[in-house]
Structure 1
Amino acid sequence: MAHATTLSHSLIASSSRFSRLRSTTTFLRNPLTGKSFRCCCSAAATTDESSPSVRERVVSGVQPTGSIHLGNYLGAIKNWVALQDTYETLFIVVDDHATTQPYDPQQLRKATRDTAALYLACGVDISKSSVFVQSHVPAHMELMWLLSSSTPIGWLQKMTQFKEKSRKEGAENAAVSLFTYPVLMASDILLYQAEYVPVGEDQKQHLELTRDLAQRVNHLYGGRKWKKLGGRGGSLFKIPEPLIPPVGARVMSLTDGLSKMSKSAPSDQSRINLLDSKDLIADKIKRCKTDSFAGLEFDNAERPECNNLLSVYQIVSGKTKEEVMEECKDMSWGTFKPLLADALIEHLSPVQVRYQEITAETGYLDKVLSEGADRATEIAVPTVRNLRQAMGFLILDS
């Protein structure tokens, strides 16, 4: 699921096996099709009691390359915590995606554990959610291979991120997995029958491919064709819709307000890592790029850094946009930066303390990840089995 960024790779799936939770209905616009669609993603509220019994499922993931940064946290993980009281939630450390470019094997192992620990430190509750490592559920790779047989090369050749990353590596040296990893991302989504996928702007193209691929496989193997082979018939996969969180979906670099905060950026100065010390956070904010305009304001296209820093302050302070505008409109950067640094330090301090507690408890994290993988496998295996049946593979009764 995220991959070069987050999966951003969050998925909201529906399963008739679970009882419906009450939620308000919000109408959102699909940025791929321009059409509106209904999303039940709010806190508890009364719904039509005659509606079918169903519970939404949320699945999301972050790639373990380097430390989790503020963009991962505010754009994805913080939203996960808000969802777990309402939905069945599964959160993945997508380690397979971390191998598409050169990496340090020792660092990957450490980063995988650190990422999982930070999920818990940020508020993911294992009594409500499953946390697991992507490579611990073989169905991800198995489904990727099956989907690859139905993925036209031309579709992958159009992927912008492959073009950009292979250019950096040199086209001749780029790994095959860098070319095909959008198919693995699709398998991360379709494996759990996702209905909604929270995505950032940079992930829209991958979701488009996932939607196209799901429709293609449904057409090639679903319906009556599947039923003739002993299946239930109908669609093999749901067609996922994009869901873009209204706040915090895209935290920008501290050195360039037009670029997304990223682990792959060469300068560590460009991001706040969740485990940065208090002094380092204060120093990064002190040195971050600003502008020479008077006062501070949101939504001025000529002031991307200003909008980004105010947005971060809004989220970590827990204030409304209007409250931040009123508080900061006449401030200078010299006054605002210490205010932002203090708010960030206060907000991240409990996360850092909890992380230290989790990593100090020998064996705890392994148990969490093992149980999470078992739960995910229970959901994933039927999806792969159905597709294998529909594609004509010999299925033995066990």
Structure 2
Amino acid sequence: MGERGTGAARIFSGVEPTGHLTLGNYLGAMRRWAEEDQYRADALFCVLDLRALTVEHDPARVRRLSRQAATLLLAAGLDPGRCTVFVQSHVDELARLAYLMECTAGVDEIQRMARFREGAARAADGARLSLLTYPALWAADVLAYGTDEVPVGAGRARELELTRELAVRFNERYGRVFVVPRAARAPVAVRVGDLQDPRSRMGEGRGGAAGVIHLLDEPDAVRRKVSRAAGADDGAEVAYDGAARPGVANLLEMLAACRRDGDPGKLAEGYASCGALKRDAAEAVVELLRPVRARHAELAADPGYVDAVLRAGAARARELARPRVDAAYEAVGLLRR
């Protein structure tokens, strides 16, 4: 069933093109994928474009952001010679397997998923059914490829837990078809807060665009957003206290992550005022993203190369998924095609 021949663990993860990718995406996941995961494992990285269809969307924008996300994955350092980069909707087997996951899951456990509750609360014209059933598709994403590990942060932990439960339940009912994946957590978790709502993750706060640093933001835009960070007035003292001063703590954590200094508390001791901290944090972000932006520009000028990478990635993903999905269909009692 598409088994690996190298003995390496297989990992799967992805990004959602529901908006422009952010500094949080890069520091929280993409940098680790490029620097560690693609070297230590048989790694598959996916643009989860079907996620964008679970809410009101503009088709042209979905296409544009999906291509941009794929290009940024490569610009961040993913090497198609070492890992598999592809687009979710290019693997037809996922739709087949997602239906079996829907047949395995219970309504109550799907409705308890935080993403559905939060998305339904934001939907002005009512939540789409696809938002409710998306965890079944995510489970199919993970299980179709025989995934051993899924790099996860807090936002995906419950979805992976449900995926594990569905894999175990299916195997117990119909025989062992699926690998039960485990979470792969970074030794040092990186959480980047919204600059205007620092208690929320970047891109999930109430601060709007002013609180989010996008990977393709121009340097002056980065500097402007950081200079206006909430809860960090220029003349204020610097102390690392996430509970009492989340805005300052967020800037220290951002600077530590960009510089790989590791200890925001020690960094705080080197600053007399938030003005100096914001200047250093802004420049650290600008320098961190400079090579990503430059490589993105090169790749964007060669769309044929990006298309070829995605075609090859989807072909390999389908090759891995098809035998396992066929086995799952046979296990539940469906006739062979």
TM-score for the superposition, normalised by structure 2: 0.93
For structure 1, the residue ranges without an aligned partner over 5 or more in a row are: 1-14, 20-53, 223-234
More displaced 10-residue stretch of structure 1: 361-370 or 310-319? 310-319
Aligned residue type for 2:214: N
- Residues 117 and 277 of structure 1: is their aligned pair in 2 closer, same or farther, counting only changes over 3 Å? same
Check if 1:81 corresponds to 2:24.
no
For residue 258 of structure 2, give the secondary structure of its aligned residue in structure 1.
Answer: helix
Residue 136 of structure 1 corresponds to 90
> Which structure shows the higher helix fraction?
2
- Counterpart of 2:69 in structure 1 is 115
Q: Does 1:126 align with 2:80?
A: yes
| Contact 2:139/2:163 (<8 A) preserved | yes
| 1:263 CA drift (Å) | 6.3
- Secondary structure of the 2:227 match is helix
- What is residue 380 of structure 1 aligned with on the other side? 321
Equivalent AA in structure 2 for residue 360 of structure 1: A
Considering Cα pairs closer than 8 Å and 6+ residues apart, tell me whether 1 or 2 has the greater RCO. Answer: 2
Match of 1:261 among 185, 202, 214: 202
Q: Give the equivalent residue in structure 1 for 2:134.
A: 181
Secondary structure of the corresponding residue to residue 148 of structure 2: strand
The 1:377–1:319 alpha-carbon spacing in structure 2 relative to 1, beyond 3 Å, is same
Higher strand proportion (structure 1 or 2): 1
TM-superposed deviation, 1:303 = 2.5
* Matching of residues 341-380 of structure 1 within 5 Å: 341-380=282-321
Gaps of 5+ in 2: none
TM-score, normalised to structure 1, is 0.79
Q: Is the 8 A contact 2:33 2:78 kept in 1?
A: yes
Q: Give how far 1:330 is off.
A: 3.7
Displacement of 1:204 in angstroms is 2.2
Distance 1:365 1:327, change over 3 A: same
Task: State whether residues 16 and 55 of structure 1, in contact with CA within 8 Å, keep that contact through their aligned partners in structure 2.
Answer: no
Q: Look up the SS of the partner of 1:279 in the other structure.
A: helix
Name the structure 2 match of 1:192.
145
Report the Cα offset of residue 385 of structure 1: 0.9
Give the Cα–Cα distance (whole angstroms) in 2 for the partners of residues 215 and 98 of structure 1. Answer: 28
Question: What is the rounded CA distance, in whole Å, between the counterparts of 1:390 and 1:290 in structure 2?
Answer: 57
Aligned match of 1:162 in 81, 97, 116?
A: 116
Report the CA distance shift for 1:241/1:278 in structure 2 as closer, same or farther (over 3 A).
same
**CA offset at residue 97 of structure 1?**
0.9
CA contact (8 A) 2:198 2:205 kept: no
CA RMSD, 1 decimal: 2.0
> Which residue is 1:294 aligned to?
237
Structure-2 change in CA distance of 1:327 and 1:252 (3 Å): closer
Q: How does 1:268-287 map to 2 (within 5 A)?
A: 268-287=209-228
Number of residues paired by the alignment? 333
Aligned-pair distance for 1:349?
0.8
Counterpart secondary structure, 1:85: helix
